[in-house]
């Protein structure tokens, strides 16, 4: 525990706006409405902020505020703070997803959170989040609007994470005003883009958060974007796109080949060491002869998705590759939107193409070329030509995580890292790469003192759709205990909400191997390496 309570009083002070709750029926929450947020309380440059709304919502006070940019042409950062009536003197910030653009639900759970425990807000946490400094165009699919990237300040707020610290500082200012007290502990939880944001705050502001939960993090954002651009081009080639029926064929074939490698047949592949060769599905002669096989062009496409992507040039971040996806994840037809999509990429980019292909399209239009009319299929990430310098410059912003978490560890911070083995959108191999980098920089023993990394078999990206394993684990309680007592998580169990079964949560590189007994019980498995 690195902070102490400044004051626990909830009495109205003459110089400080009163606490949000003298009682749940009184309107003191409205006292925060119209409160100005001084620029001086925010460590990064802003023009200050203003509370735009403050209303009682159930057992909490919901406060909305705008943080104003330095550049008048940039959008404001819109944030929300939920102040519970029964405060536990702790605070938690939620990360976003995709290109952000909306405020995450501050009453929600942490990624892969437990279904049988209250959410952080219901536990008494003051929770907060922001849209990261731009507002989603409602005409675009959620989290797939990159148009803000034409403004430098908005781009830096999102891609470099500046909005995270600005939101944190302003939210703690409001929490102190509401309760006349400083939180004893502040946590961060996020998945995907939010998982990347979790690693950003740990690395850039090592004393800002006591504990961090980072799930399926898109930490090397630009590296993955280059891979997604390459896959977009591959899948757009004539005859290369495997339609829904062929994606189902591929998924079922992978499960059949690899399911039993962990000792039990349950349609969950725990051992990612299993290898699958898509050429066993080749159509006679390599031509597309129907849904029961893959053509040579389709085999090439699925192989590209599961293979590392390397680019033949240097970029400022030093990144040289993206590791590709496990066959299991790229072919999971339970959530085609996050994988291949249901239609091939083209120009204009269909909303039925894969999420990653649409993400690439927006990035090319608004981050790279800043030309909304640019055909993303015309940009080859292997040979970007005149765009190489811009790619390199963006890499310093989007891939600035350098894996040096020694300051975070010295400050007493604790980090829980999670990824689903069947993630279709962010490769679990990439998170494993990040973990190995941290161990290399920090040292194995020191890393074990502040970081735990778990790969959850069968879990996909954010429990989207109908995953093979709908992961549920009380990571927040494990993190609380670790921060407060120094006791690291041990013998943790993850629940599959879709099938009412449990598995041991094995610290990487461990994975659950079946021994004997009830295959739906974690007690029947041990962690193999």
Positions annotated as catalytic residues are 192, 423, 461
Contacts of 490 (CB under 8 A, 6+ apart): none
Residue from 376, 461, 388 nearest 192 by CA: 461
Largest Cα–Cα separation, the chain:
84
Cα–Cα distance between 86 and 105 in angstroms, integer?
19
Q: Report the Cα 458 to chain-centroid distance in Å.
A: 18
Is residue 475 within 8 Å of residue 120, measured between CB atoms? no
Distances from the Cα of 446 to the Cαs of 208, 262, 406, 440, 450, in angstroms?
A: 20, 31, 9, 10, 7
Give the integer Cα–Cα distance in Å for 127 and 83: 7
- CA 492 from chain centre, in angstroms, equals 22
d(CA 197, CA 199): 5
DSSP assignment of 400-442 equals ------HHHHHTT-EEEEEEETT-SSS-HHHHHHHHHHHHHHH
For residues 96 and 117, what is the distance between their CA atoms, to the nearest angstrom? 22
């Amino acid at each position: 525990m690195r902070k102490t309570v400044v004051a626990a009083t909830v009495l109205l002070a003459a110089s400080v706006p009163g606490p949000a709750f003298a009682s749940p029926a009184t309107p003191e929450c409205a006292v925060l409405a119209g409160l100005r947020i001084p620029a001086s309380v925010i460590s990064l440059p802003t023009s200050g902020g203003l509370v735009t709304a403050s209303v009682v919502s159930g057992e909490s006070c919901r406060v909305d505020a705008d943080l104003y940019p330095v550049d008048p042409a940039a959008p404001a950062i819109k944030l929300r703070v939920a102040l519970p009536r029964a405060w536990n003197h702790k605070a938690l910030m939620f990360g976003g997803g995709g290109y952000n653009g909306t405020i995450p639900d501050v009453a929600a759970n942490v990624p892969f959170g437990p279904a049988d425990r209250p959410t952080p807000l219901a536990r008494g946490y003051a929770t907060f989040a922001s849209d990261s400094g731009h507002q989603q165009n409602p005409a675009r699919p959620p989290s797939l609007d990159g148009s803000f990237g034409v403004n430098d300040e908005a781009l830096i707020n999102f891609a470099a994470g500046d909005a995270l610290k600005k939101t944190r500082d302003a939210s703690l200012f409001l929490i102190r005003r509401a309760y006349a007290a400083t939180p004893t502990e502040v946590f961060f939880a996020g998945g995907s883009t939010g998982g990347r944001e979790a690693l950003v705050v740990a690395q850039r502001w090592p004393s800002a958060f006591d504990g961090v939960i980072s799930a399926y993090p898109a930490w090397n954002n630009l590296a993955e974007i280059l891979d997604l651009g390459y896959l977009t081009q591959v899948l757009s080639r004539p005859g290369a796109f495997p339609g829904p029926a062929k994606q189902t064929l591929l998924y079922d074939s992978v499960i059949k080949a690899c399911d039993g490698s962990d000792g039990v047949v349950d349609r969950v592949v725990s051992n990612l060491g299993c290898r699958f060769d898509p050429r066993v599905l080749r159509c006679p002669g390599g031509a597309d002869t129907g849904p029961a096989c893959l053509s040579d062009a389709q085999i090439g496409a699925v192989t590209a998705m599961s293979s590392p992507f390397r680019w033949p040039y240097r970029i400022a971040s030093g990144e040289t590759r993206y590791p590709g996806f496990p066959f299991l994840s790229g072919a999971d037809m339970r959530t085609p939107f996050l994988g291949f999509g249901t239609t091939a990429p083209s120009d204009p980019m269909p909303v039925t193409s894969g999420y990653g292909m649409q993400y690439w399209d927006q990035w090319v239009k608004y981050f790279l070329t800043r030309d909304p009319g640019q055909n993303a299929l015309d940009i080859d990430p292997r040979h970007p030509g005149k765009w190489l310098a811009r790619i390199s410059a963006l890499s310093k912003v989007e891939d600035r995580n350098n894996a040096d978490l020694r300051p975070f560890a010295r400050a007493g911070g604790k980090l829980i890292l999670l990824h689903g083995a069947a993630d279709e959108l962010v490769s679990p191999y990439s998170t494993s790469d990040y973990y190995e980098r941290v161990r290399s920089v920090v040292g194995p023993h020191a890393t074990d003192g502040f970081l735990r990394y778990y790969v959850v078999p069968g879990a996909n990206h954010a429990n989207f759709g109908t995953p093979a394993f709908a992961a549920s684990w009380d990571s927040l309680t494990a993190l609380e205990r670790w921060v407060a007592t120094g006791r690291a998580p041990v013998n943790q169990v993850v629940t599959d909400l879709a099938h009412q079964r449990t598995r041991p949560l094995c610290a990487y590189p461990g994975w659950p191997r079946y021994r004997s007994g009830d295959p739906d019980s974690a007690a029947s498995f041990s962690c193999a390496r």
